[in-house]
């Protein structure tokens, strides 16, 4: 049986990726600090679902704590061979990073350093790192290419992610480790993050809540469905060398149009209040995925209407406990 280590396994992407690997017959070692970056009840629900699988093995660990992480590796991977480390553990959210910059650098940089060192020590075949479209900053390009400017991040979150990319680049240069750095574009889907617009707006539509819209609502995001993202992560784990890749939908949609799609599903108007944009908000994101298509034969299959339909139905089915989740 093949083995994979997924950090941040109780997070949104980590949960869905763990399910994919379990379906493919892998034994999944999952670690997560179960932190309270957002309402922990969501993480607890995901973990409970994952623990229903015999081949899912979980430990509560903070990847920024080197000694504990080393002991975990010595305990589990002296005799068991791990194929891949997929690092999804991170401080997430652009706005929150300005409030807690130290914790973001601990998880998003020191945590990555701890993992890549252990990856080398234990001779693990490939390392996959979750990065973000935020590294492109408030780019004026129509579509963000892998070689677009990334040296001027405009948030603490983006800066911490860019720093981890640079660190991994150095590790590949020095030790020739196989590393894939994936820049995700606005991931959404069932059991998503409660600080993201698709979750907040869907809950508002179902439970008749007011929403805050920052700015005009004309800003555009390259919303990418979770099933497409995890398929891309799985394919990237097979690559060799150092690879920077965008995982996005390449079809940006405005916040106002997202609200319209959800309103039509709910058959009601979502009440909104407009608030000023914050300095770290960017107006536009769009992924150029030409390199990803060429190297991995990957492209997204789910348009926003279909993805929101699936997401909305999941919210309806789980609304009894979801409506108690704190959104931000």
Question: Which residues belong to the active site?
Answer: 157
Q: 242 burial class (0-12, 13-18, 19+ CB within 10 angstroms)?
A: middle
Chain centre to alpha carbon of residue 253: 19
Task: Determine the Cα–Cα distance for residues 22 and 105; give it in Å rounded to an integer.
Answer: 31
The full 3-state SS of 195-239, as one line of letters, equals CCHHHHHHHHHHHCCCEEEECCCCCEECCEEHHHHHHHHHHHCCC
Which residues are within 8 A (CB) of 52 and not within 5 positions of it... i.e. 6 or more apart?
none
Helix (H) / strand (E) element for 96: namely: helix 94-97
| Main-chain dihedrals φ then ψ at residue 241, nearest 5 degrees | 85, -160
Instruction: Give the number of other CB atoms < 10 A from CB of residue 207.
Output: 11
Count of helices and strands (H, E) across the chain: 13, 13
Helix, strand and coil in the chain, % to nearest 5: 45, 20, 40
Which residues are within 8 A (CB) of 118 and not within 5 positions of it... i.e. 6 or more apart?
69, 70, 73, 85, 124
Helix (H) / strand (E) element for 126: namely: strand 126-132
């Amino acid at each position: 049986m093949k083995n994979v280590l997924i950090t941040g396994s109780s997070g949104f992407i980590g949960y869905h990726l763990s399910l994919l690997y379990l379906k493919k017959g892998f034994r999944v070692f999952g670690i997560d600090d179960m932190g309270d970056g957002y309402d922990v009840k969501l993480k607890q629900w995901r973990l409970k679902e994952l623990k229903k699988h015999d081949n899912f093995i979980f430990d509560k660990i903070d990847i920024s704590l080197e000694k504990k992480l080393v002991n975990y590796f010595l305990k589990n991977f002296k005799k068991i061979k791990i194929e891949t480390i997929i690092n999804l553990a991170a401080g997430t959210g652009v706005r929150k990073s300005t409030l807690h910059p130290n914790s973001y650098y601990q998880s998003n940089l020191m945590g990555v350093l701890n993992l890549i060192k252990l990856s080398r020590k234990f001779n693990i075949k490939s390392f996959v790192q979750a990065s973000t479209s935020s590294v492109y900053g408030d780019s004026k390009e129509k579509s963000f290419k892998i070689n677009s400017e990334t040296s001027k991040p405009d948030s603490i979150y983006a800066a911490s992610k860019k720093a981890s990319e640079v660190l991994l680049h150095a590790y590949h240069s020095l030790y020739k480790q196989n590393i894939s750095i994936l820049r995700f574009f606005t991931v959404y889907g069932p059991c998503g993050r409660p600080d993201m617009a698709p979750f907040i707006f869907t809950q508002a539509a179902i439970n008749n809540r007011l929403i805050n819209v920052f700015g005009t609502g004309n800003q555009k995001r390259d919303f990418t469905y979770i099933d497409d993202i995890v398929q891309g992560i799985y394919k990237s784990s097979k690559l060799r060398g150092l690879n920077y890749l965008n995982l996005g939908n390449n079809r940006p949609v405005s916040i106002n149009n997202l609200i319209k799609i959800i309103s039509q599903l709910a058959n009601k108007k979502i009440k909104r209040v407009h608030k000023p944009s914050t300095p770290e908000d960017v107006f536009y994101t769009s992924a150029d995925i030409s390199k990803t298509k060429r190297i991995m034969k990957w492209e997204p299959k789910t348009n926003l209407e279909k993805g929101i339909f699936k997401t909305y139905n999941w919210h309806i089915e789980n609304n009894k406990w979801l409506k108690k989740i704190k959104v931000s």
